[in-house]
Amino acid sequence: MCIRDSTPGVGLTIIGLIITSVLLVKNVSGAFLLGILLTALVGIPLGVTSFNGIVSMPPSIAPIFMQFQWGEILSIDMFICVVTLLFTDMFDTIGTVIGVSQRAGMVDEKGNIRNMNKAFMADAIGTTLGAMIGSSTVTTFVESASGISAGGRSGLTSFTAVICFVLALFFAPLFMMIPPQATASVLVLVGLMMTAGISRIDFTNYRTAVPCFICVIMMPFTNSIANGILLGFLTYVVIAVGCGKWKDLGLMSYAIALLALLKFLYL
């Protein structure tokens, strides 16, 4: 593909990737944020970045707040929706928490994460309240790795981000001028950071290497972290049973594997 034949958006993403990479290599503090801002500025002459104002009042949430539909609460369709969203949210959270914790150096030598149950509880509460309010899913996001790379480690970082998001509601036109191409280049580098944990996989032990490989390749192929983890987990269980190691797995492992199989067959 010739770069000059690509759209301005593609070109801007490549430029942003180069700018942010240089800032990272030079260990510039806030490299991701600066990369986004500089890429957005470069997008002005390219016609990708457009100015739509600075300040506006947030729109009313009345049309989406607590808008429950109880008519299908006990239907098969509702059950399928709940199971699908459960798998998606739970395994997305598992993958994100583990990856981000490894990036932050919060994983011990056995691969355990301290207070992981509290992280899942916070995610569950956020997901539930977010759905009640009507917003997009309030859950853990892999983009948190960018904040960790900038030095964020404690809850104070998250609290500060929340305050900034509240203020951003009133400056939505200003922030909306940042094109998705400016953030896409940062997400590519965040993905690079998340692959660091692959070096810990023992690829000489095929019982674990094969499921891990399935996870790695199926996440981008299915465009879903949850599906990648589910397929890897299902592969791990099948290999264990095939090798006669079925006693090494607990009942919950088989239950999750069965639900995963049903999801891919019928959902």
Q: Which amino acid is at 143?
A: E
Claim: this prediction has a pTM higher than 0.75 = no
Look at residue 18 in the predicted model and tell me its pLDDT: 92
Q: 47 falls in which pLDDT band (50, 70, 90)?
A: confident
| CA–CA gap between residue 82 and residue 93 (Å, rounded) | 16
Give residue 140's pLDDT.
77
Q: What is the pLDDT of residue 111?
A: 67
pLDDT grade for 67, boundaries at 50, 70 and 90? confident
Tens digit of pLDDT for each residue in 226-245? 788 888 888 988 898 888 88
Which residues lie across from 7 on neighbouring strands?
none
The conformation of residue 56, written as its DSSP 8-state character, comes to -
> Three-class SS string for 119-187?
HHHHHHHHHHHHHHHCCCCCCCCCCHHHHHHCCCCCHHHHHHHHHHHHHHHHHHHHHHCCCHHHHHHHH
Q: Round to whole Å and give the CA distance between 62 and 127.
A: 19
- Judge whether residue 4 has pLDDT over 70: no
Tell me, what's the pLDDT at 6? 59
Q: What pLDDT is stored for residue 184 in this prediction? A: 86
* Statement: residue 1 has pLDDT above 60: no
pLDDT given at position 22: 92
Give the pLDDT mean for 99-119. Answer: 75
22 or 193, greater pLDDT = 22
pLDDT of residue 17 exceeding 80: yes
| C-alpha to C-alpha distance for 112 and 29, rounded to whole angstroms | 30
Please say if the pLDDT value at position 252 is more than 60. yes
In the prediction, which pLDDT does 97 show? 81
**Res 31: pLDDT:** 84
**Taking all residues of the chain, what is their mean pLDDT, rounded to a whole number?**
81
Residue-wise pLDDT tens digits, 129-152: 888 888 877 877 766 777 777 777
